[in-house]
Amino acid sequence: MAVAAAGPRRIELNGVTVDYLLQRSARRSVALRVDARGVRVGVPLALPLRSVEGFLREHAGWLLDKLAQRAARSAAEPWRLVDGAQVSVFGEPVRIALTSALRTHRWVRGQDGGEVVELPQRHPERALIRALEERGLAWFRDRVAHFCEQLGHPSPAVRLTRAQTRWGSCSTRSGIRLHWRLVHLAPTLIDYVVAHEVAHLMEMNHSPRFWAAVEHLYPSWREARRALRRAAADLPSIVPGDAGRPLNEE
């Protein structure tokens, strides 16, 4: 029985050569992930290589589709902060207007009735992030209070985070932290992340009891989790290096 050591490997799938990283651990099932770091396959310690490759061939269609989608996104023109550009706020387009008359941001209504965020021409990236953080924090606090009320739990302190890999975190000492980039997403997806973190107030783990709390707060969490992963890949890169960064729930 061939048990390949963990590390980089290569396989031919439907005529396409795919490089992947084999990761062995004391897990019970096989996990396949495609993100900014490439293809990763997590497997049990003693799973034979032929079983790993059989799993990849069984899921070849899904895997090749994911790789094609990533390639298409990489080839697309990146989002740029310019006058007239649009940025998503709670899933709705907001137009950006650059003006030399401002030193900070300002939210206004355009002639078409749509929302506009006016930014100074000097350091507009900083101003846009501040605008989005202020808008997002007020929304996040309201939603945390909403879900805490459902659990009969007092609402904790809510702060923003710029963590590199997590949408949010929860601590009994510091409360709930939510990533500012959530502000780009539709409210239904933000609610899933908020419900996830609020559930941690009851269970500081990912046990069945924790997921039961999530389901109580957000019954369609499985669908939202999948949609969140898809939406995350298309977030605008306001801060250099943000594009394509994988974020996960704690």
Which tokens sit at 155?
Answer: 């609402």
Domain that holds residue 11: 7-75
Q: Does 104 lie in the same domain as 129?
A: yes
- For residue 81, being part of any structural domain is answered with no
Could you tell me if 70 and 90 lie in one domain? no
Instruction: Write the pLDDT tens digit of every residue in 207-236.
Output: 999 999 999 999 999 999 989 988 887 788
* Predicted pLDDT at 244: 44
* Residue 112 per-residue DSSP state: T
**243 has a pLDDT exceeding 50:** no
The verdict on 92 and 64 lying in the same domain is no
Residue 152 lies in a domain: yes
Examine the pLDDT at 246 and tell me if it is beyond 50: no
- Predicted local confidence at residue 87, as pLDDT: 93
Total domains, the chain = 2
Same domain? 105 vs 224: yes
81/237: higher pLDDT: 81
Indicate whether 243 belongs to any domain. Answer: no
The terminus-to-terminus CA distance of the chain in angstroms comes to 37
Give the phi and the psi of residue 154 in degrees, each rounded to 5.
-65, 145
Residue 72 clears pLDDT 80, i.e. is over it: no
176 and 95 within one domain: yes
Show which of 41, 75, 109 is a domain's final residue. Answer: 75
Q: How far is it, in rounded angstroms, from Cα 177 to Cα 168?
A: 5
Higher pLDDT, 59 or 75: 59
Residues 171, 97 share a domain: yes
Question: How far is residue 76's CA from residue 24's CA, in Å, rounded to a whole number?
Answer: 34
**Domain assignment present for 143:** yes
Q: Domain check: are 109 and 62 in the same one? A: no
Final residue of a structural domain among 75, 109, 129? 75
Average pLDDT in the chain: 89
What is the C-alpha to C-alpha distance for residues 205 and 214, in angstroms, rounded to an integer? 12
pTM comes to: 0.70
Q: How far apart are CA 22 and CA 50, in angstroms?
A: 13
Whether residue 99 lies inside any domain: the answer is yes
Query: Which CATH number characterizes residue 219's domain?
Result: 3.30.2010.10
Strand partners, 204: none
